[in-house]
Amino acid sequence: MVDTLTPAQRSERMSRIRSANTLPEVTLRKALHRLGFRFRLHGRRLPGKPDIILPTYHTVILVHGCFWHRHEGCKVATTPKSNTKFWVEKFDRNVRRDAVVIDQLEAAGWQVLVAWECELASFAKVTAKAISLGEEIKGASR
Ligand SMILES: [Zn+2]
């Protein structure tokens, strides 16, 4: 494939990809914080290093990118048309790893919640997701 991007365009595109990986997590954290939740970040000793940990509620939240973690039925979770076998195997490994991590966390007594990146694509969506997560988080301690 011919590379038609100038270095500036490429770097602009890359920076957007990078921020797409972290921005949803940050905005979700802020929204949960506004709702009064307090948490720890990236628990190094927990399986899968969960993005958001709420010790009080024994809950962790995994923020998953729809493409890499294969959000079922999501329009972002496409499969590239070239090197398809490579991608399918890679995605299968990711999905298997996620399932193992969730099993390990649950076995250790954590409630595991997942926030998909497409659910965090706008301020309104983040707010709505934070509210619904908040109900699940509190539900766990009942
Ligand atoms: Zn999605």
Q: What is the CATH number of the domain that holds 58?
A: 3.40.960.10
Would 35 be classed as within a structural domain? yes
* Ligand 1 center to 18 CA (angstroms): 17
Structural domain for 41, as ranges: 7-140
Return the pLDDT at 102: 97
**Residue at 1 is within a domain:** no
Asked whether residue 97 is assigned to any structural domain, the reply reads: yes
Tens digit of each residue's pLDDT (9 = 90 or more) over 114-136: 999 999 999 999 999 999 999 99
For the chain, state the CA radius of gyration: 17
Confidence of residue 59 (pLDDT cuts 50, 70, 90): very high
pLDDT of 21 above 50: no
The pLDDT score that the predictor gives to residue 20 is 40
Q: Does 20 map to a domain?
A: yes
The Å distance, Cα 72 to ligand 1 centre, comes to 7
Please indicate, yes or no, if residue 38 is contained in any of the structural domains: yes
The answer as to whether 80 is a domain residue is yes
Residue environment code for 101-115, b if the CB has 16+ CB neighbours within 10 A, otherwise e: bbeebeeeebbbbeb
The model's pTM is 0.80
Q: What percent of the chain has pLDDT over 70?
A: 81
Residue 132 domain-assigned (yes or no): yes
Q: Please report whether residue 2 resides in a domain.
A: no
- In the reported structure, the alpha carbon of residue 88 is separated from the centroid of ligand 1 by a whole-number distance in angstroms of 17
Locus of tokens 């979700």 = 28
The owner of tokens 């496409």 is 78
Domain count, the chain: 1
Place of tokens 């934070």: 130
Separation of CA 110 and ligand 1 centre (Å):
24
